[in-house]
Amino acid sequence: MKNLHFSQQHLLNETEHKVLSCILNAIEQGDTKINIRMIARQAYVSTTTVIKLAKKLGYQGYSDMIYSLRHSVDEEQKPAEGIELTSILDPVNEPAIDMFVELLLKHQNNCIFVIGLGFSTIASSYFMRRLATLGFLAYDGSPSDMMRREDTPSLCIFFSKSGETKDLINIAQCAKAAGHDIALITANGSSALADLSSPHLVIRSTGSVAYNVPDFFIGRTIILLEYILSKLVLYLH
């Protein structure tokens, strides 16, 4: 994404864009020594072209560019430090968040089921699409819709404010009996769905279910999902 930002801001040509992509890829892969000749060789250009790119981007030279880009990438890859979890979760449970990430990694080669009903479909559909951008196969629905008995058990992620929706409880019970891992984002940590799930994350929310009362459950859930994804990306890289 950052190479696109630079391309738009500095009007890079195709060759310069390719050089920048090679540099950013090396940084993201954790290369500690990014030699200018290596970059030039990968991009099929001269070292002079690489230096000209550094000058065009406003750096003093190649080393200055590498240092600055590495710092910028490191900052982007940190979990969302600006998110104040105490305003989102009740209680804040970092081990449960880490377990959530571990389950996503465990099942990254399986179809992950993302399940919500009513307004919770906003969060479930959002998470399904965000997982897809990271290369995960996710399905916005019940595993019973497409799972065969001989298939490998996967991960079912439920979104339910009350945690007491009967249809979701039935799906969770069947999925658990079939060997699926169950995770839940809810506003009710003492619910039937919470008892079936490990982990479950509890969102701060009003107790009201009235439509004319502001409710931040979905909004806070989406912020939490972005926090989870920011941690997931670190492992994927």
Domain boundaries, the chain: 2-77, 85-236
Assess contact for 221 and 206: CB atoms under 8 A.
no
The average pLDDT across 59-81 equals: 78
Taking the C-alpha atoms of residue 231 and residue 94, their distance in angstroms, rounded to an integer, is 11
The 10s digit of each residue's pLDDT in 84-131 is 788 888 888 889 999 999 999 999 999 999 999 988 999 999 999 999
What are the phi and psi torsion angles at 80 (to 5°)? -65, 85
pLDDT at 149: 60
Domain 2-77: CATH architecture, name and number where available: Orthogonal Bundle (1.10)
User: What is the DSSP secondary structure assignment for residue 207, as one 8-state letter?
Assistant: S
Close Cβ partners of 190 (under 8 Å, ≥ 6 residues apart): 163
More confident residue, 185 or 145: 185
Assess contact for 200 and 184: CB atoms under 8 A.
yes
pLDDT at 210: 52
Amino acid of residue 192: A
Give the closest residue to 201 by CA, choosing from 190, 210, 213, 189. 189
Domain 85-236: CATH class, spelled out: alpha beta
- Burial (CB count <10 Å: 0-12, 13-18, 19+), residue 207: exposed
Taking the C-alpha atoms of residue 26 and residue 106, their distance in angstroms, rounded to an integer, is 26
pLDDT at 12: 76
The 10s digit of each residue's pLDDT in 187-237 is 999 999 999 999 999 998 866 555 555 678 888 899 899 899 988 988 886
Instruction: Order across the sheet with 200-202: list the strands.
Output: 137-139, 111-116, 155-160, 181-186, 200-202
pTM, 2 dp: 0.67
pLDDT at 236: 82
